[in-house]
Structure 1
Amino acid sequence: MEELARLSAAEARQLIRAGRWRRPTTGLALGYVQANLVILPADWAEEFAEFCRRNPQALPLLEMTAPGDPEPRRLAPGADLRTDLPRYRVYREGRLVEEREDLLPLWRPDLVAFLLGCSFSAERALLEAGVRLRHLEEGRNVAMYRTSRPCQATARLHGPLVVSMRPIKGDQVARASEVTARYPLAHGAPVHCGEPTALGIVDLSRPDWGDPIVVAPDEVPVFWACGVTPQAVIMESQPPLAITHAPGYMFITDWRDQEIDQRTSAGAL
């Protein structure tokens, strides 16, 4: 895994495009910004952009493509959003109908792609700060949960906040919060630390997405806003067609994680 962590973003995307990586991307090309993907028909695109603006911690918008253009020209020129993620999900009328490894047969000239910030982008900084990340050690996807907190709705888009959970040692929680707060485009600081029932989560052993991670006695469950939130919103709002990444199977951009810290603080986004 250490060798895979040292890959460049372009090398990781080529590995994915060639069909040689079909696993979650946590720990892959460590230090490059990873992004969640949402693709919608053009007549839903402006409203989804507004939904992102109303819910910036859950949906930090990094790029919105032109209709029919699968190339993320800002984040990774030359990449192809139809082939460069390990796994995609296709929703019709809010119902998950299939998972697939590319979107080439489904692509249409009216489709607009959105790339949203992901908490995986802050993991290098957490590791460098000495924060232990058990899901990386165990080779697991992060655990993700639907919460009882509603997002701020638009006319047609509504649904709950989704969070990712990482068990953090009690004496490292403040450090983890401080580090991730520097990355608002990767969901920023945690939305909650401690008792999961405060978020409406009844059983940590049964995540809605990802893999369960047991919280040790000296650890605290720490929850960050999650880029799977749009998928929960899609299921409730039921657009005629929506395509997303499979949870944990992200798009790896050419930006370094230090760049989103710098770009955010400079107001460049």
Structure 2
Amino acid sequence: MKASDYRRQYEAQLAASSSFTDGLRAAAAPEIDAEDDIPSLLAIAADKTASEDDRQAALEQVHAATFLGQAFDGHRAEYLAALRKLITDDAPALRRLALEWLSAVKDDVAQKALAEGLKNPAKALVSAANALEFLSLDEHSAVTPLARLVLERDKDLETRVAALRTLTADPNAADLFERFMRDKDEFKEVRQISAVGLQKLNENLFQKVAQQIAVDDHDFDDIRATALNGLARSPIAEQLLSNPAVRASAKAIGEKLSSNAFSALLSRIRPGSDA
């Protein structure tokens, strides 16, 4: 499709008050000619007089074309330059897409902008959760200290969960996961993710904490269930479940929650082995 034809299609759809987005995202979306269509699509994406949906649809079409390989190579620099301009655009969805796609190719400009936003929320271009997710796309990015900073500063669930997921790759985060796993005032989701993180980083410490939580009648049943399920996945599950108090807790919690998640755990406890 020629650029002029593409523009006519675009203008006709706007004139008919039908969304350009629907046209681009429909199953029969036009096949892109890398040489002719991409400059026009990038122009639409950059056009602040167009609707956000139309701009996003055009940008997504260009992004799809990046998988054309050599056919797209002649436009790659233009595409990346367009994304860098969009990271400060007024449209939140365009900022997010631009930062995500730039982060996927380990773009320094995007990484610096994301890091700056995490350090200074007033300069944030996307949510802290998104920023951590995008920075984590590069295993060599300095995201770990930023995740720790956010975790201590931000109190909303989404951000705390994102920070903890980031820190599961930090071999020095076991003590932090232990602290949050034990904290009864913390979000349950945070405690559950912390349990997974601790077991990944320090199995022995996880076993100690999980056994203590499992037999704590003053803790939440679903948190005790998380601890027990983790113990069931331990390499020495049989040994851990030889503790009569742990066995009793497993049976009590399993009956109370009526959860299929306990099937593997309860199958390890031999009938008649109650304390």
TM-score, length-normalised on structure 1?
0.20
Larger strand fraction of residues = 1
Larger helix fraction of residues = 2
Bigger RCO of structures 1 and 2 (CA < 8 A, at least 6 apart): 1
TM-score, length-normalised on structure 2?
0.20
Q: Whose radius of gyration is greater, 1 or 2?
A: 2
